[in-house]
Amino acid sequence: MPTALVTGVTGQDGSYLAELLLKQGYKVIGMVRRTSTINFDRIRHIQDEIEIAQGDLLDQLSLISILQEYRPQEVYNLAAQSFVPTSFSQPVLTGEFTALGVTRLLDAIRIVDPSIRFYQASSSEMFGKVREVPQSEDTPFYPRSPYGVAKVYGHWITVNYRESYDIYACSGILFNHESPRRGLEFVTHKITSGVARIKLGLSKELRLGNLDSRRDWGYAPDYVRAMWLMLQQDNPDDYVVATGETHSVREFLEESFGHVDLDWQEFVVQDDSYYRPAEVDLLVGDASKAGRQLGWEPSVSFGELVRLMVDADLEYWQRQLKRDAASSA
């Protein structure tokens, strides 16, 4: 039974990747950082099937100790400060987690077992002010946020350790991917949760920032499959993972409010406080290399993604309403 370590297992991608690895017969070690309140909402259903190891990307010794104790063959580094606006207000902390954290983990691998296969969660945010359309593995980076800058560092240190120390290290340049498990602060889930609340009479408005930016939005479970495929090849490499379609935030609004027969323009309020100091206007990926070499392709369309997220939020808020009604009866 192979063993895999997943950092960021409590996050959106970590939870889906842990499910996939369990299905493939792996022993899964999920690294979690110490918090005063346990935050296992996304992994509660598999909590008994995985092992939890305490560690932090800020703490070198914890990373070395986990590798020494569990001896994984594969390490997926999904942990990061992943919210772009926070990277503007906490740029140094973002650099510590999202940039230097990658080096700490790669150094732990180099010290404990350089034969470990390593996946780094790189991001289309690295393309930022895009140099070409669509963006591929060969497109130059031009990050537009401290988060994007930190991810560029994480990407290149992964390439550098591969070339310097012969580590099987891959960087997956993943475009935005979403699901009902997406953090509520990200625009897709903020919108679909808002739509459900408005439909059920729990909210009257939805406050948003820039509606013109365009993203290549895919479905998270498809994207974790690409991560796993990258570590199963003969040679390590870097891959763009994307749908190849781009849509504006406005289109996301039309589709999601339209799904419940509402007109988004009656409910959305534009709020300057959600604008960023620098914006990434347009992302659209060319995943043809992943298609050719990994046999990967997305399985969920933009419309399907929006609808499944709205439906999941409607179900969630309906359940909450029933619970509230039962407890006040």
Q: Which residues are catalytic?
A: 123, 125, 147
Q: Is 183 in the site for ligand NAP (CB under 6 A)?
A: yes
Strand partners, 122: 173
x-marked contacts with ligand NAP along 26-45 as a string, rule CB under 6 A: -------x-x---x------
d(CA 246, CA 169): 29
Using the rule CB under 6 A, which residue among 208, 284, 294, 309 binds ligand G4F?
208
* Candidate residues 5, 6, 43, 57; the one interacting with ligand NAP per rule CB under 6 A: 57
- For residue 136, the Cα-to-chain-centroid distance in whole angstroms is 19
Strand pairing report for 74-77 and 3-7: parallel
Count of residues that interact with ligand NAP, criterion CB under 6 A: 25
User: Does residue 79 contact residue 8 with C-beta atoms inside 8 Å?
Assistant: yes
Q: Determine the residue type at 143.
A: P
For ligand NAP, which is the closer residue by CB, 129 or 258? 129
91 binds, among ligand NAP, ligand G4F, none (CB under 5 to 8 A by kind): none
Q: Which helix (H) or strand (E) holds 151?
A: helix 146-165
Among 28, 64, 80, 105, binds ligand NAP (CB under 6 A): 80
183 to 202: interface string for ligand G4F, x by CB under 6 A: --xxx--x------------
Residue found under tokens 């005063």: 36
State how far Cα 137 lies from the chain centre.
Answer: 19
* Cβ proximity of 64 and 42 under 8 Å: no
Q: H/E element holding 114?
A: none
Compute the least distance from the CB of residue 84 to ligand G4F, in Å.
Answer: 4
Contact of residue 276 among ligand G4F, ligand NAP, none (CB under 5-8 Å per partner type): ligand G4F
Residue 112: which H helix or E strand, with range?
helix 101-112
Does 209 participate in binding ligand G4F (rule CB under 6 A)?
yes
Is the CB of 6 or the CB of 198 nearer to ligand NAP?
6
**Structure-token match 């027969």, residue found:** 261
Told to check if 7 binds ligand NAP by CB under 6 A, we report yes
Terminal Cα distance for the chain, rounded: 51
Q: Considering CB under 6 A, how many residues would be counted as binding ligand G4F? A: 21
When CB distances are held under 5 to 8 angstroms depending on the partner's kind, the choice from ligand G4F, ligand NAP, none that residue 208 binds is ligand G4F
As a whole number of angstroms, the distance between CA 131 and CA 324 comes to 51
Choosing from 125, 222, 255, 286, the residue that interacts with ligand G4F (CB under 6 A) is: 125
d(CA 72, CA 117): 9
Minimum CB distance to ligand G4F, residue 254 (Å): 14
Residue 300: both structure tokens together: 């969920």
Collapsing DSSP to helix, strand or coil, 71 comes out as: coil
* Nearest-angstrom CA–CA distance, 177 and 215: 10
Which tokens hold the place of 304? 């399907």
Backbone angles phi, psi at 17, to 5 degrees: -65, -40
Which of the ranges 31-39, 164-172, 272-280, 302-310 carries the binding residues for ligand G4F, by CB under 6 A?
272-280
HSE-CB of 71 using CA atoms within 13 angstroms:
2
104 binds, among ligand NAP, ligand G4F, none (CB under 5 to 8 A by kind): none
Is 289 near ligand G4F (CB under 6 A)? Answer: no
Residue 84 interface partner, choices ligand NAP, ligand G4F, none, CB cut-off 5-8 Å depending on type: ligand G4F
Instruction: Kindly list the residues in this chain that would bind ligand NAP in the complex (CB under 6 A).
Output: 7-8, 10-14, 33, 35, 39, 56-58, 78-82, 97, 121, 123, 174, 176-177, 183
Give contact residues for ligand G4F (rule: CB under 6 A).
Answer: 82, 84, 123-125, 175-176, 185-187, 190, 208-210, 213, 215, 249, 274, 276, 279, 283
